[in-house]
Structure 1
Amino acid sequence: MKKILYVAHCLLNPSAKLQSDEASLAAEDKLRKEVLVKAIQQDIHIAQLPCPEFTLYGPRRWGHVKDQFNNPFYKKHCVSILTPILDEMEAYYEEKSLFEIIGIIGVDGSPSCGVDCTYRSECWLGEFDGRKRPIEEDLQTIERVDERGVFMAVLEDELKKRQLDIPLVGLFAPEKEKVLSLFD
């Protein structure tokens, strides 16, 4: 039986992530590589999910919070790019004697691909120029919350509609046991 693992786009292509200093992503990058090497060593086939943020905004986008993506337009975009992937998952899932989808790995903290946590702020909106208050004050309103990012929430809903029982796990360095448990 062949094992399949679906991963957030940036696990295989970190260039799709927001542009930032590499030191801040060092722990995530180390865990990303550890997970991918473990999958390859165990002959687990890796399938890449699309990146909804990159497909809308490209590589020069600003950082966002979940509240900015939690709208019908973004969710519709997520469904449209997920539909062929969901069809693929369903085809594999139905062939249980040949394939096992061991899980889907998202990236915790992402407003789209967070599985166990994401970031929110009701104040994160508008123009940068001519603001009524300094941007530093708005940055202070961003909070980590224990909920799914929009893309992963849409994916979870679509999996339920198709009755596909596939675990979602977040890549988060301090809690790496969760993601590594997929390989047990």
Structure 2
Amino acid sequence: MIKRKKQLLLVAHCVLNQNAVIRDWERAQGGFNQLVQAMLAENLGIIQLPCPEFTFSGEGRPPRTKDEYNTPAYRTLCRRLAQPVVEQAKEYQRQGYIVRGLVGIGESPSCDTLGNRGIFMEELLAMMSEARVELKTFDVPEDYLEGHGEKALLEFDCFIK
């Protein structure tokens, strides 16, 4: 019988679905296969986060800065999208699972977790903190291109191990 590893990662939507990014800004044909394969090789469960930009403005949206997204309506949407994710993480923790971390997108106005933290990640991480779910973070670098990101893959490998 196979036993669950009981370890999970929260992952920005576009790591698994580059179709959600702004047109002509995609960096893979579908998802970041090499990053996903690394997660699967570690037997980590993957919780795909919703894409707040796609939800807010659709597939054909123009590029926007963090300041342009920083509106009450967008923050409200981000909190609404984050709430079920927080509830899932809390439930997993109650059941003895380890939420290993959060994978964001560097330089994203919504999903950067490190530098100039994106709006969605600001809201999500604040809600996680309130729920006592602590997360280490990793951002897929802005210059990562599927099939040409050896340095980022090595760093990601260290992050998930």
TM bucket by the smaller chain? 0.7 to 0.9
Per the alignment, residue 7 of structure 1 pairs with 11
Matches within 5 A, 1:23-38: 25=27, 32-38=32-38
Which residues of structure 2 form unaligned runs of 5+? none
Aligned amino acid, residue 8 of structure 2: I
Which residues of structure 1 form unaligned runs of 5+? 117-145
Please list every run of at least 4 consecutive aligned residues from structure 1 whose deviation after the TM superposition is greater than 4 angstroms. Answer: none
Cα gap change, 1:151 to 1:21, in 2 (>3 Å): closer
Q: Which has the larger helix fraction?
A: 1
- Maintained 8 Å contact 1:102/1:182: no
- Maintained 8 Å contact 2:107/2:116: no
Larger Rg: 1
* Aligned counterpart for 1:107 among listed residues 93, 105, 113: 105
Matches within 5 A, 1:18-57: 18-20=22-24, 25=27, 32-57=32-57
Per the alignment, residue 170 of structure 1 pairs with 139
- Maintained 8 Å contact 1:90/1:164: yes
Matches within 5 A, 1:1-184: 1-20=5-24, 25=27, 32-96=32-96, 99-116=97-114, 146-172=115-141, 173=144, 176=152, 177-184=154-161
The alignment of Structure 1 onto Structure 2 pairs a total of residues equal to: 149
Cα gap change, 1:76 to 1:178, in 2 (>3 Å): farther
Report the Cα offset of residue 167 of structure 1.
Answer: 1.4
Aligned amino acid, residue 156 of structure 2: V
Deviations 1:132-156 (A, max 9, x none): xxxxxxxxxxxxxx32011111111
Identity of paired residues, percent? 28
Report the Cα offset of residue 9 of structure 1.
Answer: 0.6
- Maintained 8 Å contact 2:12/2:111: yes
Structure-1 separation of matches of 2:85 and 2:60:
26
* TM-score, normalization by structure 2: 0.83
Aligned amino acid, residue 157 of structure 1: A
* TM-score, normalization by structure 1: 0.74
